[in-house]
Amino acid sequence: MVESLVGLQRSVAPGDRNNEARFWLARQLCLCGKETLAKPLFDNLKKLSVPFRQKQGVRGVVLSATGKPADYYGQIYTLKPGFGFLRGDLDQLETFFSADRCADKFEDLEGGQRVQYNLGFTLRGPVALALRSTEVG
């Protein structure tokens, strides 16, 4: 993974317009536990003059060895009407989720609740997909 990170870093130069490479570098930094380095990249990508739908489009879904979306676990720390944020167990990655991307009923979610999810990325940053509650026990 380090080799791919070095290659992606080389493809991004200050002031260039290689936003595709910038997105993949930010994604890879998040996956390597370097969210603080990824944040400024995502902040710049948020400001791009592209349609809102393109900014919100999920891509870069993390896959398991079987080629299916990988399962992640975390805990909801902020819950607002229609959206929230969770923190991943392994890497403490702060991840956005919205009501329309929940497998369970959004209304049944609570702050502090343990959840399972798949991880994807938008131009705005990491996003949880197929969010569902985990069973205790």
pLDDT tens by residue, the chain, 137 residues? 544 555 555 556 566 677 888 999 999 999 999 999 999 999 999 999 988 888 889 999 999 999 999 999 999 999 999 999 999 998 899 999 999 989 888 998 999 999 999 999 999 999 999 999 986 54
Tokens of 73: 């676990």
Name the CATH superfamily, with its identifier, for domain 72-133.
Answer: Nucleic acid-binding proteins (2.40.50.140)
119: left (phi over 0), alpha (psi -120 to 50) or beta: beta
- The Cα–Cα gap between 118 and 129 comes to 5
Among 118, 105, 22, CA closest to 73: 118
* CA gap 102, 14 in Å, rounded: 37
Domain ranges of the chain: 2-49, 72-133
Question: What local confidence, expressed as pLDDT, does residue 137 receive?
Answer: 45
- 3 state SS of 41: helix
